[in-house]
Amino acid sequence: MATKTKALPIFLSFLIVLALIEVSHAGGIAIYWGQAGSETTLNVTCNSGLYKYVNLAFLNKFGSGRTPVLNLAGHCNPANGGCRVASSAIKNCQSKGIKVMLSIGGGIGQYSLASKADAKKVADYLYNNFLGGKSASRPLGSAVLDGIDFDIELGSTKHWDDLARYLAAYSKPGRKVYLSAAPQCPFPDRFLGTALSTGLFDYVWVQFYNNGPCQYSPGNTSKILASWNRWASMKWMKKLFLGLPAAKAAAGSGYYDRVNGYSTTIKSKV
C-alpha cells in the first residue's frame, strides 16, 4: 500500500515513534504511543485518522517477582492512579475502530519470566488489569484494551511462548484477546522465535532497523527484501507489517526516507 499524505512525516516527527506499515494486506498503520513526553496526546493521535492500531508503550517492569510498572514517558503517573485518565481516550480510539494494545517490554526496563508458573501469573495480571478481567487497581481505568503486544528485547529468552498461550486462552466469543509482536529482523528472533511459532500472534511488525544484515540501507533494498520474504514465508504468519522508523531520531540506522512521501510496496506470499 502507499503511505498516507505528505503531512504524515511531520505528524510522526513529533511522536518519535515507529510507523509500522502493513503492505501485504489492505489498510493499516500501527504506531507506538507513550515513548516521549513531547508527543501529541492519545486523543489527537487517534483523531488524526492515520492509524488502525495503537500500542501503548510500555509496561517495562514485570515478571520474576517484580511489581509491574507502567511507563508512558511522562504522560501520566501510574504510581498514584494518574494514568486512569487515559481510559476515555482509549475508548475514543476504539470507537473509531482502532485496536489499542498494551506493549510489554521495550528496549529499556527490567522484565523476564522465571518459569511457566511465572508466565501464568503475568498473564493473569495483564488480563485482570488491562483486558477483560477485574481488578481494584487497573492502571488505565475501566477501558478494556484489545490485546497485548510483545516487544521483548531484554532479559531471558524463555517462557514467552507460555505467556502467549495463557493470554490467548482468555479469548472468548465476542471478546478476543489479540496478540502482536515486534521482533528484530534477523530470523528467527532470539527472544520471540519460539513464541511466534505457536501461531497465536495476529499481527507481527518486524523491526527492519538497527540490524545491518536485514535493514534498509541507502540505495540497497536487497537485504530488507530478502528478510521480508523470509518472514513472509512462515506458515504461522497471519499479518506481517513492515516496521520502519518514523523519524531519524527514532532509531540509530535503517531510516527509509522514501516512506515519508512515496509509495512503498513489497510483494509477498502473505
Contacts of 204 (CB under 8 A, 6+ apart): 180, 181, 182, 183, 196, 231, 237, 238, 239, 240, 241
The letter for the amino acid at 189 is: D
Q: Are 120 and 76 in contact (CB under 8 A)?
A: no
> Which of 153, 161, 162, 189 is an active site residue?
153
In the residue annotation, 22 being an active-site residue is answered as no
Judging by beta carbons within 10 Å of its beta carbon (0-12, 13-18, 19+), is residue 59 exposed, middle or buried? Answer: buried
* Separation between Cα atoms, residue 254 and residue 244, nearest integer Å: 7
Residues 6+ away with beta carbon under 8 Å from 87: 140, 141, 142, 143
Could you tell me if 205 and 243 are in contact, meaning their C-beta atoms sit under 8 angstroms apart? yes
Catalytic residue numbers read 153
